Amino acid sequence: MSDAALPYAAPFRPQLAALGVVGSLLVAVGVFLSGFVISEPAPYELFMAGLIGLWAIVGLRISRGIAPLLVLLVLFNIGGMLSLTVLDDLSAGPMYIAVSLFLALSSVFFAAIVEARPARLELIFRAWVAGALITASLGILGYFHAFPGAEVFTLYDRAKGAFQDPNVFGPFLVGPSLYLLYGLLSGRILGAPLKVAGVLVLALGIFLSFSRAAWGLYLVCVVALVFVMLLKERTGAFRLKILILSLSAAGLMVVALVVALQFDKVANLFSSRTQLVQDYDGGHLGRFERHRIGFLMAMEKPLGIGPMEFSKMFPEDEHNIWLKSLTTYGWLGFLSYLALILWTLSAGFKALLRNRPWQPFLMISYITIVGHTAIGFVIDTDHWRHFYLLLGIVWGCLALEKRHNRQIAPD
């Protein structure tokens, strides 16, 4: 065979390989820092802003598969910028939109680096688990006043870990919980004890957040994960394994819940929080009445009313992501956000059960996004850093799916 007939082999470039490894480790550090948001700007913002800027200089490639995510998020934030034009006081609004724009760019960034190197998915989730375990442990220790000053990790007798709000702390732990549960159900028995311990720590953190949205999100996502795994794996032995392990995990959680309820403080707050409708939900100008009034008002305000203006008119914030998108980002922002969610859910559903190396990560992220979309009707998920991370992971996996389909398509 002549030299001309030999296939071309790309030269190995150790500098580029080393740069890729360092970049992946820096991404893991950034994801880890997302579990520590006691004040703003948090270390996560400062670190990720520098990392995204550096990566953009080195060469961040936005493929056609990720372009729709970028376009819709940019339109969403343009709506937010237009809402600033109706404000008389611009002291806080521009900073809010700046954070929104940064989070949008972070989502596109995660999608791009996942498409460039799918192996980063494992690193991202491991870093997320590490951050979640630490912040959950801080919340648990703070709730039980395990050391002097531990109350800094609680708010209104609810665990919040290294977050500002228990309602963000609880949902943040759900994604890592699903990752550990998936490993428990599909992995080897030898690694089960550590995964079980991790699941119990995260589940207790979610419980002690006393966030009804987090409780519902966790329950729905766990059931959905088991259901999807049963659909994907059709062998009887595997299904039996999933059934046994699922029942065992549920039993352990019930035991942990019973033990926790032996504390009067826990039992009293649990009894209060399990009421479906609280006074601040159904009372005068409660959550539901504010939703009704807010949607009617938004119909007359095409540009919105501006960031954080709703809480100046009513006792509390919107507590509804759809209303939030209307008031803070106007009609343009609302339509962009609606299109983004519908596109994500539709495209993700089509690729959900395909046998790909990235399928487990897509499945976990997709299920968690579906859950966040559901709780978005009763809580404001805007500026939740982990939500934008989930979006990036799903779109990165979708871009990988498109590339895979192009490669196997006939000429």
pLDDT digits (tens, 9 = 90+) for 264-316: 667 666 666 555 555 555 454 566 777 788 888 888 889 989 888 887 887 67
Q: Which residue in 166, 228, 176, 226 sits closest to 200, CA to CA?
A: 176
The answer to whether residue 198 scores a pLDDT higher than 60 is yes
**295: exposed, middle or buried (Cβ count in 10 Å: 0-12, 13-18, 19+):** middle
Q: What is the pLDDT of residues 152-163, one digit of tens each?
A: 999 988 999 999
Tell which phi-psi region holds residue 368, choosing left (phi > 0), alpha (psi between -120 and 50) or beta. alpha
Q: Which residues pair with 344 in a beta bridge?
A: none
- Average pLDDT, integer, range 179-199: 85
3-state secondary structure 360-395: HHHHHHHHHHHHHHHHCCCCCCCCCHHHHHHHHHHH
Task: Tell me if 79 sits within 8 A of 332, measured CB to CB.
Answer: yes
What is residue 182's three-state secondary structure? helix
Structure tokens at 39: 């004040």
Give the percent of the chain with pLDDT over 70.
88
For residue 364, pLDDT over 50 is answered with: yes
Helix (H) or strand (E) holding 286: none
Distance CA 73, CA 69 (A): 6
Q: Can you point out the beta strands (E) in 119-267?
A: 154-155, 158-159
Closest CA to 233 of 191, 176, 195, 186: 186
Sole residue written with tokens 């009293």: 268
Question: What per-residue confidence (pLDDT) applies to 292?
Answer: 81
DSSP 8-state secondary structure symbol assigned to residue 5? G
